[in-house]
Amino acid sequence: MKAEILTIGDELLIGQVVDTNSAWIGQQLNRIGVKVHQITSVSDNEQHILTALAEAKKRVDVVLITGGLGPTKDDITKHTLCKFFQCGMRFDEPTYQVIERLFRERGRDVSATNRSQAEVPDACTLIPNPKGTAPAMWFESETTIFISMPGVPFEMKGIMEQEVIPRLTQRFSLPPILHRTILTQGIGESMLSDRMTEWENALPSHIKLAYLPAAGMVRLRMTASGKPEEMLMAELEAEETRLLPLISEFVYGFDDDVLEALVGELLRKNNRTVATAESCTGGYIAHRLTSVPGSSDYYIGSLVAYANAVKHEHLQIPESLIAQHGAVSEPVVQLMAQRVREFLKSDYAIATSGIAGPGGGTDEKPVGTVWMAVAGPSGVQSRMLRLGKGRERIIHETSLYALSLLRKMLLTGEIG
Amino acid sequence: MKAEILTIGDELLIGQVVDTNSAWIGQQLNRIGVKVHQITSVSDNEQHILTALAEAKKRVDVVLITGGLGPTKDDITKHTLCKFFQCGMRFDEPTYQVIERLFRERGRDVSATNRSQAEVPDACTLIPNPKGTAPAMWFESETTIFISMPGVPFEMKGIMEQEVIPRLTQRFSLPPILHRTILTQGIGESMLSDRMTEWENALPSHIKLAYLPAAGMVRLRMTASGKPEEMLMAELEAEETRLLPLISEFVYGFDDDVLEALVGELLRKNNRTVATAESCTGGYIAHRLTSVPGSSDYYIGSLVAYANAVKHEHLQIPESLIAQHGAVSEPVVQLMAQRVREFLKSDYAIATSGIAGPGGGTDEKPVGTVWMAVAGPSGVQSRMLRLGKGRERIIHETSLYALSLLRKMLLTGEIG
């Protein structure tokens, strides 16, 4: 069973909006064994949408469409679908009731613009939108199902999870596609590849391997298909068991693991807390740690010490130490970690100090030079990183290295 | 002149990676007047890539391809392009020299895997990759130009900026397409639409309007084409002048303006500094402010006071005040802003305290209840927000409202 994702909107083509819907839909479909054959993005242009619908119909069994269902004038998907299916429009009273109720709850009147959202093509089955006013629409042609959803991510996600996925699994008998992803940090794609050449060459043909590099990390994804689910699962496990010893020091997690959530779990399990003292990362590590639900169980707080005066005054870093070694140095970052641990009374503390650029670099310490440290009950560990240019990337990669170091200290008995 | 963006990689179709390259390429092409007709994402499958190339060739004048050029085994774009153009491979000595030099600089040897990156299709012109080892490739068929680039964003961006964009502008005489985007915050799409119905209905047909809603904000984009550049520019200006009075209280910027950078500019211009005391936003506002290059000129630091003990001990929020009103309350957040302003000696200070969820909500203060305050030389202002559910969204929208409030205070003379 093959699917195509069709996203509609000029904003995608001129790059004003990044299409995050397609990746999310792809994930959901993959999980139930639907192969996404293609993702196509087209403009808010009737003829172009009609062509894309006709082409997708030839290629796949299901077309998932997002975008262009809003209440405003530039949203033309609904009328174009009417044309494609040669049908008319009807006013749907239940849809109007939902719109009216939502507006009443917010203490507002329904405008004519919003009222028009209750007009729907008469050739479709309506699918409830649990999180918004525009219902999704399910059309069937001879060979292909078309499902049109709003482009607003949280509305689309609600419809997919509660309605579309259950209906698709009920309708089709889907073959298993299994994935296993191994998450690595601290090694580049080609060095990783060199370590596992033999293993990779020996992979059976129905298991595919992909390298997915991203800022500061590489994900290795094995995909297995073409056999019963239990066999595939056993084969993936066996391959993983062979692979892990070759690259173990760089592996921090699997599948959808998120580093900050793994660190959080370790802290929670050991009943330990963490705080941060951030200079170059400017609060980003605090943000990552607190993006995890329930992080208040182990996260105490952060002192973002951007100005040197804050380092001096509140973390008691002696001005002489900064003068002697510079703010971006091992002694300063070690002391920052130790002092914030005392200041905020945490068991562990992360500190960062670096040159994120674009300005501030020197010959000795070019942009991308970062010192980071983790202090714990049994002492402090620190590392220097040379991350090259790119402010955003430097902040991001520093956070990865710092969280990784904390994870390793928590794992290797530095629990205190 | 029409272009298509073709992104290649299984990771896009199964949703493991969000395709951010297409949006970025779309922006660059639009700026020089190239219309992106379609974005297509296909898998690492030879037949599928061949079909996509053939279809794109029928549709457009230029095809920009990313992905599948890495050194590892799953990268098949290069060989598939050879097949499409019916050509062979050759070893390119200058490319090899670049690879060798890059590895030498990092103190590493060139592996066989990396050596193979110097093998290139003999039907293409090579385009230097200023930021990596795999060069880009420029192919010409009778009707269409194909440009294949690596998928790693910063390498692709370097190639586009330094090589592809200059070559395309030299090659084609491009008609003007002008955009003007107005950025609003604090009002929903349909309420905004209702305010500007008359203006919108009176827009000439060669100026298109699009509503681009995103978390906590709506962007309004006008697109003008079909006339000489000077005329289009004058018309867009005139339309903007008519539109702005209808929605002025919600407008915070234009085009690629970034709220935190606008706030930073205002602070710099007025020679003022800012600090933050963050509870529910957990360092995210600090991160946004410090993501702007040069922010150390006006950003002092933050106390991320996640635990109530930190609020009490370091911001001297009386425990009785928290007991009486709760940590998520106007008196607490006002005092947090005032105290961090004193603590970090800044001119302005932002404070947030809210229930980001998923846990912690009550009937009186459900998840999404947020108090935020901005303290300045002339006093403190605060707002309550009801943001509904969604931890990530709550954190993000709170940061928008808080930065907006600071911006308004800086603009309306609250400079002190």
Find the CATH number of the domain harbouring A214: 3.30.70.2860
Q: Where are the alpha helices (DSSP H) in B164-271?
A: 165-171, 189-195, 197-201, 229-247, 259-269
Asked if residue A377 and residue A295 are part of one domain, the reply reads: yes
- Is the pLDDT higher at B183 or at A214? B183
Asked if residue B137 and residue B36 are part of one domain, the reply reads: yes
Beta-carbon contacts of residue A207 (< 8 Å; ≥ 6 apart) = A222, A223, A224, A235, A236, A239
Number of domains in chain A: 3
Whether B200 has its CB under 8 Å from any CB of chain A: the answer is yes
Asked if residue A193 and residue A141 are part of one domain, the reply reads: no
Residue B173 to chain A, least CA–CA distance (Å): 19
CB atoms B36 and A42 under 8 Å: no
Reported in sequence order, the residue ranges of A328-406 that DSSP labels E, i.e. its strands, are 348-354, 369-376, 379-386
Asked if residue B201 and residue B144 are part of one domain, the reply reads: no
Asked if residue B401 and residue B337 are part of one domain, the reply reads: yes
Is the link from the previous residue into A228 a cis peptide, with omega within 30 of 0? no
How far is the C-alpha of A334 from the C-alpha of A352, rounded, in Å?
9
Tell me if A130 is assigned to some domain: yes
User: For chain A, what is the radius of gyration of the CA atoms?
Assistant: 26
Q: Give residue A71's pLDDT.
A: 64
Q: Which of A18, A73, A285 is closest, CB to CB, to B20?
A: A18
pLDDT bucket at B70, cuts 50 / 70 / 90 = low
Question: Which of A126, A153, A171 finishes a domain?
Answer: A171
- Is the pLDDT higher at B103 or at B289? B289
Asked if residue A248 and residue A224 are part of one domain, the reply reads: yes
Tell me if A186 is assigned to some domain: yes
Taking only residues 242 to 271 of chain B, the set having a beta carbon closer than 8 angstroms to any beta carbon of chain A reads none
Q: What is the mean pLDDT of residues A25-46?
A: 92
Question: Which of B234, B254, B274 finishes a domain?
Answer: B254
Which residues of chain B are within 8 Å of residue A35 when distances are taken between CB atoms? 13
Q: Which of B241, B238, B232, B243 is nearest to B198 (CA)?
A: B243
Whether A28 has its CB under 8 Å from any CB of chain B: the answer is yes
- B385: containing domain: 259-411
Tell me if B227 is assigned to some domain: yes
Whether A274 has its CB under 8 Å from any CB of chain B: the answer is no
Full-model pTM: 0.81
- Is the pLDDT higher at B228 or at A68? B228
Q: Give residue B74's pLDDT.
A: 64
Q: Give residue B71's pLDDT.
A: 64
Q: Are strands B251-254 and B177-185 parallel, antiparallel or unpaired?
A: antiparallel
Tell me if A141 is assigned to some domain: yes
pLDDT digits (tens, 9 = 90+) for B14-42: 998 899 999 999 999 988 889 999 999 99
CATH number at residue B386: 3.90.950.20
Burial of A364 (0-12, 13-18, 19+ CB in 10 A): exposed
Asked if residue A135 and residue A41 are part of one domain, the reply reads: yes
Tell me if B50 is assigned to some domain: yes
Q: What is the mean pLDDT of residues A145-161?
A: 93
CB atoms B357 and A11 under 8 Å: no
Taking only residues 160 to 189 of chain A, the set having a beta carbon closer than 8 angstroms to any beta carbon of chain B reads 179, 181, 189
Q: Give residue A74's pLDDT.
A: 64
Asked if residue A165 and residue A193 are part of one domain, the reply reads: no
Q: Where are the alpha helices (DSSP H) in A252-367?
A: 259-269, 284-290, 308-315, 319-325, 330-343
Number of H helices, E strands in chain A: 17, 17
Report how far apart, in Å, the C-alpha atoms of B76 and of each of A227, A228, B7, B33 are.
Answer: 25, 28, 13, 31
Q: Which of A71, A281, A395 is closest, CB to CB, to B190?
A: A71
How far is the C-alpha of B413 from the C-alpha of A231, rounded, in Å?
70
Percent of chain B having pLDDT more than 90?
74
Quickly tell me which residue has 């970025």 as its tokens. B24
Tell me if B416 is assigned to some domain: no
pLDDT bucket at A278, cuts 50 / 70 / 90 = very high
Q: Cα A391 to chain center, whole Å? A: 20
Whether B41 has its CB under 8 Å from any CB of chain A: the answer is yes
- Residue A171 predicted with pLDDT over 80: yes
Quickly tell me which residue has 């670099």 as its tokens. A361
CATH number at residue B105: 3.40.980.10
pLDDT bucket at B160, cuts 50 / 70 / 90 = very high
Tell me if A416 is assigned to some domain: no
Asked if residue A37 and residue A60 are part of one domain, the reply reads: yes
Max Cα–Cα distance, chain B, nearest Å: 79
Asked if residue A386 and residue A325 are part of one domain, the reply reads: yes
Tell me if B148 is assigned to some domain: yes
Listed range (A21-35, A288-302, B274-288) with the worst mean pLDDT: A21-35
How far is the C-alpha of A79 from the C-alpha of A71, rounded, in Å?
12
Percent of chain A having pLDDT more than 70?
97
Residue A408 to chain B, least CA–CA distance (Å): 24
Which residues of chain B are within 8 Å of residue A191 when distances are taken between CB atoms? 108
Strand-pairing partners, residue A278, are: A304, A352
CB atoms B12 and A22 under 8 Å: yes
Which residues of chain B are within 8 Å of residue A212 when distances are taken between CB atoms? 11, 16-17
pLDDT digits (tens, 9 = 90+) for A89-130: 999 999 999 888 877 776 777 777 778 888 999 999 999 998
How far is the C-alpha of A302 from the C-alpha of A277, rounded, in Å?
6
Taking only residues 65 to 84 of chain A, the set having a beta carbon closer than 8 angstroms to any beta carbon of chain B reads 70-74
Asked if residue B165 and residue B183 are part of one domain, the reply reads: no
Asked if residue B184 and residue B153 are part of one domain, the reply reads: no
Question: Which of B254, B269, B295 finishes a domain?
Answer: B254
Count CB atoms within 10 A of the CB of residue B274.
29
Which residues of chain B are within 8 Å of residue A48 when distances are taken between CB atoms? 37-38
How far is the C-alpha of A350 from the C-alpha of A238, rounded, in Å?
37
Count CB atoms within 10 A of the CB of residue B380.
19
Quickly tell me which residue has 């239990």 as its tokens. A230
